[in-house]
Amino acid sequence: MRLETRSLAGRLVWSLSILLAVFWTIAVGLSIHVMRAEFDEVFDSALQETTERLAPLVVDDYFRRDAGTMPNRVAALTPGTADEYLTYQVRDAAGRVLMHSHNVGTEPYPAPLTSGFWSGDDIRIFTIATVSDTLFIQVADSLAHRREATLESALTLLLPILLLLPLGMFATRWIVVRATRPVNSLRDAISARDGSNLEPIALDGLPTEIATIPGSVNTLLARLKHAIQAERDLAANSAHELRTPLAGALAQMELLSQQLTEPDDRSRSARVLEALRRLSLMLEKLLQLSRAEAGVGLSSTPVDLLALVKLLVETFQRSHPSAMIVLRPEPSLLGLVRDIDPDAFAIAFNNLLENATRYGEAEQPVTIAISADGRITVTNAVSAPLDPDLDVYRARFRRGHTSKPGSGLGLAIVEKLVAQMSGSMSLRTVVLPEGHTGFECELSLPPPKQ
């Protein structure tokens, strides 16, 4: 199962931003709750004080009016100049409306004729009794006005978050990126270490939380480098030391086999010679593998690989007269210049030729195609069945279903050298003319440096 990776900076920015938004929303909600209670107290106090101040004036005005034209409507002094939220009615003990303000009708308020506050769905009423409880003055305030004031105050608190949250995210990201920069530097330094780069990590100014990591990694790299070098030295030295006595034993065995006359003795000597030749081939491949692991792929001197390929093909055909090799560069290709070590490329290319001629069909040619973009393809026909997963041939000592001699190291050496050249190797099966199955190995080399 593949796990998606997310940056630490991104997680921190989003987490802090979400927490900031949640805390701000909670704070605004609590503020609105408290604000609404305070608004109710302020509006109720204003409503009560207005009613108490208005009562003597309204009663005096009522007794000055003609009682035969009830209910009396009090005209506005400056109609339409400002919003009016308070209305009032003067009612008798029977509940009839005797007088009312200009912005309310003659329909009695639903509030009972009892001194104090009363709340309905849309209005808040304060009632006061005067003239020995024969007149009742009721002043009403619109609850919609109160809700509007609360809503406007809430929006005033919420709107800044639309501006502050993006600014907070930007500031948080800037701070987090600066704080995690040493972590990113350490990550890049560790990711750059591989089998060809085991140099110590030198990073200064790391935070205390990760300051000990480079030391531990450097210790591990030193031990790994020592172990790999010891393994390479063992393989190279063993192969080098064994090559000379093995060559002598092979020569002596060839001379001895020529002196034998009995068929059984000649058969045994032939098997011994074949075993010695296989061992000699294995030692040669081990030496090549040790060179490949030593890192010899790149070079500071440009090399024309097209000319080198032609030279390698001519040399290979002289040593393998029966091999049929067809070289097919692009018609417009005059050269293929790359900053690659020629010896390393020669080792890789010769291994491809040996692999193609050894395991390919003898009657079919080996085709080498070269393109201007740095792709070198070696194709050969095969008769033995191939493994469905061709990548298994990249492994060391892994050979196909064949009885032909081989070391199983050729493609592993090629892949190692091509990787050091900053290139890649791909394996695939193709259908050749006349229905033959083909095995194709393609080397993709990096573009030339500008």
Of the two residues 362 and 194, the one the predictor is more confident about is 362
Angstrom distance (rounded) from CA 141 to CA 123: 6
The pLDDT confidence band at residue 83, using thresholds 50, 70 and 90, is low
Task: Point out the least confidently predicted range of 203-207, 212-216, 311-315.
Answer: 203-207
CB 111 within 8 A of CB 125: yes
Q: Name the nearest CA neighbour of 304 among 346, 333, 327, 335.
A: 335
pLDDT tens profile 329-358: 888 888 888 888 888 888 888 888 888 888
Two domains, one topology: 8-148 and 296-444 = no
Mean of per-residue pLDDT scores for the chain? 78
- The structure's pTM equals 0.48
Q: CB neighbours of 66 closer than 8 A, spacing ≥ 6?
A: none
**Percent of all residues in the chain with a pLDDT value above 70, rounded to a whole number:** 82
Task: Point out the least confidently predicted range of 67-71, 169-173, 301-305.
Answer: 67-71
Q: Report which secondary-structure segment, H or E, holds 196.
A: none
The pLDDT of residue 402 is 58
Q: Name the nearest CA neighbour of 34 among 166, 180, 153, 175.
A: 153
Q: What is the DSSP string of 4-66?
A: PP--HHHHHHHHHHHHHHHHHHHHHHHHHHHHHHHHHHHHHHHHHHHHHHHHHHHHHHHHHS-
The pLDDT of residue 200 is 82
Which DSSP letter does residue 393 get? G
CB 127 within 8 A of CB 118: yes
The pLDDT of residue 192 is 78
pLDDT tens profile 229-269: 676 666 656 656 666 777 777 777 777 777 777 777 778 88
The class level of CATH for 193-294 reads mainly alpha
CB 111 within 8 A of CB 129: no
The pLDDT of residue 243 is 66
CA dihedral sign, ordered 236, 240, 245, 249: positive
Quote the tokens at residue 43.
Answer: 């509006």
The pLDDT confidence band at residue 150, using thresholds 50, 70 and 90, is confident
Residue with tokens 């050729």: 410
Quote the tokens at residue 186.
Answer: 């350490």
pLDDT tens profile 368-377: 998 888 888 9
Strands 135-142 and 86-92 come out as antiparallel
Angstrom distance (rounded) from CA 71 to CA 108: 11
Question: Domain 8-148 carries which CATH code?
Answer: 3.30.450
Q: Is the pLDDT of residue 449 over 50?
A: yes
The pLDDT of residue 1 is 39
The pLDDT confidence band at residue 93, using thresholds 50, 70 and 90, is confident
Q: Report which secondary-structure segment, H or E, holds 327.
A: strand 325-329
Can you tell me the mean pLDDT for 274-298?
66
Residue 27 CB neighbours (<10 A): 12
Provide the residue type at 168 as one letter: G
Q: Where are the domains of the chain?
A: 8-148, 193-294, 296-444
Can you tell me the mean pLDDT for 265-276?
79
> Three-state DSSP class for 195?
coil
Q: Please give the CATH superfamily to which domain 296-444 belongs.
A: Histidine kinase-like ATPase, C-terminal domain (3.30.565.10)
Q: Is the pLDDT of residue 2 over 50?
A: no
CB 172 within 8 A of CB 155: no
Quote the tokens at residue 449.
Answer: 């440096």
